[in-house]
Amino acid sequence: MDYELIYYTSSRTAEMERVLEKALSPIGLSQSMGTAATDKSELADVLSKSLKKSLLIFVIGGLNDGYDSTDKVLSKILVSNDENVSIKRIDGEKTSGYIIRSNEQIIVALPDDPEETDIILHGGIISELSETYSLTTEEEKAEDIGDVITKLDKELSQTDRVRLVSAPPKPRLYKRSRRAKIIIGILLTVGISAAIAAGILTLIYYILPYTS
């Protein structure tokens, strides 16, 4: 999933991009484009364009607790377009960040401070984005795949066990006893003797009369 990045009176753009990429890429978020605004009117203009094409927007800088602070400006812009707007504050060690939500569209306002931003992102913003947009890390995906394989392995093992239980018994092979072997030997001997005797009788009957 892509997000747009807006710098509002920000001076540490390169550092902030690195922090965002490191924190957000594991859950599948990547920056699509970045723009800048230097005052409220520019911010309103850039934001109105971004809201038409993006569900997730990060605004960096401008959190000064004044009337033109980013969170106040953004909330006013959103309220003018949609009454269903909520604002949630996520505190860092020295400053705070804000999640401004309108239905499934989210604007994240962060301070122009890489260290604070990292703390704020991991303090609740990443988890909320993951829940809202059903995002997962590679480790979680691997665990899900592992669970599926384990479940499948158990099901296959159970099927094999049922197959073994329900399979017809194999025919029992009996070994020939010693007595049977002796009887078979005698029969073979008698048969051979009979064949020899028959041969001798045939010889006597057909050949001897002509020799006498």
Q: Enter the pTM of the model.
A: 0.63
Number of domains in the chain: 2
pLDDT at 3: 95
Residues 100 and 20 grouped into a single domain: yes
The pLDDT tens digits for 23-64 are 999 999 999 989 999 888 898 899 889 988 999 999 998 887
Residues 6 and 108 grouped into a single domain: yes
User: Which residue range(s) make up the domain with 188?
Assistant: 176-212
Mean pLDDT, rounded, for 91-109: 90
Question: Is residue 78 assigned to a domain?
Answer: yes
Between the CA of residue 2 and those of 55, 72, 113, 131, what are the distances in Å?
Answer: 9, 25, 22, 16
Question: What would the DSSP string read from start to end of 100-148?
Answer: EEETTEEEEEE-S-HHHHHHHIIIIIHHHHHHHHT---HHHHHHHHHHH
Residues 133 and 187 grouped into a single domain: no
Mean pLDDT, rounded, for 92-115: 91
| Boundary residue ending a domain (91, 119, 139) | 139
pLDDT at 139: 65
Residue 199 has pLDDT above 90, yes or no: no
Mean pLDDT, rounded, of the chain: 79
Percentage of the chain exceeding pLDDT 70: 64
pLDDT at 25: 94
Mean pLDDT, rounded, for 202-211: 60
Residues 6+ away with beta carbon under 8 Å from 132:
104, 106
Tell me which of 62-76, 170-184, 190-204 is least confident.
Answer: 170-184
